Amino acid sequence: MEAKFFQKTYHELTNITKATCTLKAKGVGNEEMAFVEGRPAQVVKIVGDFITLQVFSGTEGLSTKSEVIFSGEPPTLNVGDHLTGRFFNSFGEPIDGYPVVGGKKVTIGGPSVNPVRRVQPNQLITTGIAGIDLNNTLVSGQKIPFFADPDQPYNEVLAMIALRAKVDKIILGGMGLTWDDYLFFRNSFEQDYGQSKIIGFINTTEDSPVERLLVPDMALTAAEYFAYEKNEKVLVLLTDMTLYASALSIVSNRMDQIPSKDSMPGSLYSDLARLYEKAVQFPDGGNITILAVTTLSGGDITHAIPDNTGYITEGQLFLRRASEINKVIIDPFRSLSRLKQLVIGKSTRSDHPSVMNAAIRLYADAANSRTKLENGFELTDYDRRVLKFSDEYSKDILAIDVNLEIDQMLDKTWSLFQTFFTKDEVGIKQEFVDIYWKK
C-alpha cells in the first residue's frame, strides 16, 4: 500500500520477532490494520506509546527502519453481489486473475446476533447420504464439523455435499489448503454450477500460516451479507479448522502467552465459538449453515482442538472406512447431529426417529457379535443375523456413494428389519409396526 499524502508514516521499529514488530506511535486504535513495508499487519497490543503489530506474512527481511502506515480501521471486506463466483485471498484480494471489485466496505468479525432475535432452525438440508440424512440430519443454521484423519477424503465429501445441498450460496473458507485441493474445489464447483453460487476465500500452504486467521472472518462476513441483507440460504465450508487453530497457537506463543492444554491458547474455546456461532437462522428467512473440517491426529478426539470444537458445534460427523464392505461410511456410533430432533419425524416421515434408533442399536449389537467372532467364540443365531444385517445396512444404505431420498432410506431399513429380525427384536412402537411391517 502506498502512503497517501495525509497519512503519517513511521520509520522506527523498536523490536522485531518472527511474527510481530513493535514501534512507538500515537493515536492508534486496537485491532487496527497497518502496513509494514507494504505487508499487512494488525495491532494486537498497545502499551503506552508502544504498539505491537502482528505481521501476517512474517517479519523476514524487515529492518528497524521499515516504513509503517496505519490504516485507521480494523480489517474490512468489500461486500456485494459481485463477490459471487470469485476466489479471494485472506485479505479479500482477488486471486482468480479478474479485476478488483467495489462494493460496500464492512468490518470483518462484526457483532453477535442477539440470541432472542434468532429463530430456531427448522429447515432440513438433504444430501442424499444416509449417514447424514437418515442418522444425523442436517438443519439449516446448524454448525457441524467432520472429524477426519488427514488421509480421509473429507474435502471430496465436503464438495459432494455442497453440490447436492439446495442452498443459494456456497462460501468456501480454505485454510492451509494444498494448491491441488484448491484446484479440486475450483474445478468441481465450476463443473457443476458454472461458479454462480460459489465464493472462495483461500489461504494455501504457499501463503503464510498467520494469514489464515482472517479467512473464516472473511467468509462469514460475506455469508452474513447474503444471509442477512439478501435473505439467502448460505452454506459456509471451512476446511481445515485444525490449521486455523495451529495459527492461533503460533501467534499466542509469539505473544508470550501461557499455553493451556496441548500448547493451545487458553482462549481457544472462545476464539472458535466466535466463528462457529455465526451459524444462524435469521428471522427474515436467511440463514448461515457451517460445515467444517477438523483433522485429527491419530483419531484422537481428546486433543484440545477437536475437544473444544465438539463442545461448540451442534454435533460432529466421523468418516470411517468400513472394512467389511471396503467403503467409506459416516460412522453411525460416533456421529451426531444435535439439531436433527427439530426435523426428523416432523419434516420427514413420522417413523424416522424410531427406525433410526432401532437400526443403530442393532448395528451396535453387530459390533459386539463381531468382537465375539474375532475372539473365536461360538456365534448364536442372533449374532449371525445381526452381522448379516449390518453388512447389508452398510452396503446399501450407509456407504457415502449411495444417493437416496429419505423415504427410500426408511423403506430399505424396514425391509432389512423384516428380513433378519422379529418384531420384538426390532422393538419399535406398535403403531409404526402396524403400518410398515409387511404382512
Partner 1 sequence: MENNNYTCTGEITSIIANLVMVKANGSLKQNEICYFDHEGQKIMGEVIKTDGNNAYIQVFESTRRFKVGTKALFTGVMLEAYLGPGLLAKNFDGLQNDLDKMEGVFLKRGERSFPLENDKEWAFKPIARAGDLVYAGDWLGEVDEMGIPHKIMVPFKFKGKYIVVEVMPAGNYYINDTIAVLKNEKGENVNATMVQTWPVKIPIKSYVDKIRPSELFETGVRVIDTLNPILEGGTGFIPGPFGSGKTVLQHALAKQAVAEIVIIAACGERANEVVEIFTEFPELEDPRTGRKLTERTSIIANTSNMPVAAREASVYTAMTIAEYYRAMGLRTLLLADSTSRWAQALREMSNRLEELPGPDAYPMDLQAIISNYYSRAGQVLMRNGKKGSVTFIGTVSPAGGNLLEPVTEATKKVARCFFALSQERADSKRYPAIDPLDSYSKYLEYPEFAEYSKKNIGEEWIEEINFARGALTRGREVYEQINILGDDGVPVDYHVMFWKSELIDFVFLQQNAFDEIDANTSVERQKYMLEMVNKIVKSGFTFEKFEEVGDFFKRVIYIIQQINYSEYQSEKFHRLETELQQVINQKVNA
Q: Is residue 56 involved in binding partner 1 (CB under 8 A)? A: no
- Which grid coordinates are listed for 255? 505473544
322 contributes a contact to partner 1 by CB under 8 A:
no
Window 118 to 137, contacts with partner 1 (CB under 8 A):
118-121
Give per-residue burial for 189-209: e unless 16+ CB within 10 Å, then b.
beeeeebebbbbbbbbeebbb
Q: How far is the CB of 23 from partner 1 (least distance, A)?
A: 14
Spatial contact of 227 and 282, defined as CB atoms under 8 Å apart: yes
Binding piece for partner 1, criterion CB under 8 A, among 6-14, 183-191, 307-315, 405-413: 307-315
Tell me: does residue 435 bind partner 1 (CB under 8 A).
no
Q: Which part of the chain contacts partner 1 (CB under 8 A), choosing from 104-112, 173-181, 204-212, 384-392? A: 104-112
Candidate list 187, 270, 297, 350; residue touching partner 1; CB under 8 A:
270
Q: Where are the beta strands (DSSP E) in 56-110?
A: 68-70, 76-79, 87-88, 104-107
Contacts with partner 1 by CB under 8 A: the residue count is 80
CA distances from 119 to 281, 375, 438 (A): 5, 51, 40
Dist. CA 125–CA 148, nearest whole Å = 21
259 is an interface residue for partner 1 by CB under 8 A: yes
Q: How far, in Å, CA of 385 to CA of 84, rounded?
A: 52
Q: Is 34 in the site for partner 1 (CB under 8 A)?
A: no
The residue among 211, 208, 186, 187 whose CA lies nearest residue 199 is 186
Per CB under 8 A, which of residues 286..305 are in contact with partner 1? 301-304
Nearer to partner 1, 197 or 349 (CB): 349
Task: Give the span between the Cα atoms of 417 and 408, in whole angstroms.
Answer: 14
Q: Are 97 and 54 in contact (CB under 8 A)?
A: no
* Contacts (CB under 8 A) with partner 1, residues 193-222: none
- Using a 10 angstrom Cβ sphere, with 0-12 exposed, 13-18 middle and 19 or more buried, the burial of residue 86 is middle
Measure the CA–CA gap between 123 and 180, rounded to whole angstroms.
34
The C-alpha atoms of residue 117 and residue 113 are separated, in whole angstroms, by 7
Q: How many CB atoms lie within 10 A of CB 241?
A: 26
Q: How far is the CB of 156 from partner 1 (least distance, A)?
A: 25
- Whether 208 and 60 have beta carbons less than 8 Å apart is answered as no
Pick 322 or 360: Cβ nearer partner 1:
360
Q: Minimum distance between the CB of residue 339 and partner 1, rounded to whole angstroms?
A: 7
Place of cell 503519517: 8
Nearer to partner 1, 115 or 298 (CB): 115
> Least distance to partner 1 from the beta carbon of 29, Å?
4
Tell me, rounded to whole angstroms, the distance of Cα 382 from its chain centroid.
Answer: 40
Calpha distance 373→300 (Å, rounded) = 27
Q: For residue 39, what is the DSSP state?
A: E
Q: Considering beta carbons, is residue 108 or 198 the nearer one to partner 1?
A: 108
Give whichever of 49 and 81 is closer to partner 1, judged by the CB atom: 49
Q: Which of residues 338-397 bind partner 1 (CB under 8 A)?
A: 339, 341, 353, 357, 360-361, 364, 372, 375, 377-378, 380-382
CB within 8 Å of 307: residues ≥ 6 apart: 301
| Residue owning grid cell 444435535 | 338
277 contributes a contact to partner 1 by CB under 8 A: yes
Map residue 327 onto helix, strand or coil. strand
Minimum distance from residue 163 beta carbon to partner 1 (Å): 26
Cβ-based nearer residue to partner 1, 85 or 315: 315
- Asked if 334 interacts with partner 1 (CB under 8 A), we say yes
- Residue 348 is placed in which grid cell? 420427514
Nearest approach in angstroms of CB 49 to partner 1 is 7
Does 179 contact partner 1 by CB under 8 A? Answer: no
Choose the binding region for partner 1 from 16-24, 88-96, 200-208, 329-337 (rule: CB under 8 A).
329-337
Pick the binder of partner 1 from 62, 95, 163, 336 (CB under 8 A): 336
Nearest distance from C-beta of residue 290 to partner 1, angstroms: 12
Binder among 82, 261, 346, 384 for partner 1 (CB under 8 A): 261
Nearer to partner 1, 49 or 401 (CB): 49
Interacting residues with partner 1 between 218 and 237 (CB under 8 A): 228
